[in-house]
Amino acid sequence: MRITQGMMSNNMLTNLTKSYASLNKYMDQLNTGKKINKPSDDPFVAIKSLDYRSQLAQVEQYKSNASEVHLWMDNSDEALNSATSALQRLQDLARLAANDTNSESERKNIAEEAKQIRDDLISVANMKVNDRYIFNGTDTKNPLVETNTDVNGELTIEINENQKPVNINISENIELQANVDGGKVFGGKFFENINKLVNALEDDDQAVISESIDTIQENVDAVINERASLGARMNRLDLVENRLSNQENSAKNIMSKNENVDIEVAITNLLTQETMHRAALSAGARIMQPTLVDFLR
């Protein structure tokens, strides 16, 4: 086969173009810190990157869900703690009012504080976080407790109980109840027991006042039981969050190893390619046929 000058020139230009492409590839790697900048650079690395990014996105979504659960649980725990303190204060008032040394007027004064505590407990039962009622199950748009005062000033309390749990997915195949069942805490005889104490204080009924110490304890027990259940779920949430953090770190490390370029290797490759490119230019200059201009110099 006859090798012509044109063929040699074309081959040299083709090889130089490839060399420039390699130089550009290594320069891009150093500039971006990534092995590839488009899928065609290395389809295998690109496919694995998509898979790792998908895994990382899933873990990040689970972490976001876990943060949402934390928001529900932390606020619920604070509310239940406040409710416990309020109920214990009611018991203290009942013990104080049950003492024979107190007069009827003094018990009426105690009744006023008891009413304020009752109103506060209604506010706790209707607590909102991010414009959502947290104690009324999935019905987050409506309050758990509705009140109405008649013409005689008598307060009536109605419980609109929604027992459907707010379950949030916090990991693969794991759902956790984020809310506290408000009906188990504030439903039943919760406010009935409080109203009995308030009415007994106003009526100066020492017998009922004494009984209220035990009935209010039923309320305290209901709050404590639900808070214990909430605490168990909070502990599990912490375990899941720790696992998610480990999964996130692992996914980021694997993705980094797959995508990020080894700077030392990239610099070495660039220098090697530059040396080869210079050698190719030098060799090409030697084998190219001299032109008429060269002879006229």
Whole-angstrom distance, CA of residue 269 vs CA of residue 273: 6
pLDDT computed for residue 289 by the predictor: 57
Backbone angles phi, psi at 83, to 5 degrees: -65, -40
Q: pLDDT value at position 148?
A: 87
**Centroid of chain to Cα 99:** 51
Distances (CA, A) of 59 to 49, 70, 249, 252, 257: 15, 16, 10, 11, 18
How many Cβ atoms sit within 10 Å of the Cβ of residue 216? Answer: 23
pLDDT band at 294 (very low <50, low <70, confident <90, very high): low
Please write down the long-range contacts of 169-172, taking CB distance under 8 Å and 24 or more positions apart.
169/62, 169/65, 170/62, 170/65, 170/66, 170/69, 170/237, 170/240, 170/244, 171/62, 171/240, 171/243, 171/244, 172/58, 172/62
Alpha helices in the chain (DSSP H): 5-32, 43-98, 104-125, 182-186, 190-203, 206-259, 263-287, 292-296
Instruction: Copy the structure tokens of residue 235.
Output: 């502990």
In one letter, which amino acid is 56?
Answer: L
Average pLDDT, the chain: 84
C-alpha–C-alpha distance, residues 138 and 129, integer Å: 13
296 pLDDT above the threshold of 70: no
The mean-pLDDT minimum among 14-28, 79-93, 126-140, 157-171 falls in 14-28
Task: Tell me if the pTM is above 0.85.
Answer: no
Which is higher by pLDDT, 38 or 134? 134
pLDDT tens digits for range 225-272: 999 999 999 999 999 999 999 988 888 888 777 777 767 776 777 677
CATH (residue range 51-253): 1.20.1330.10
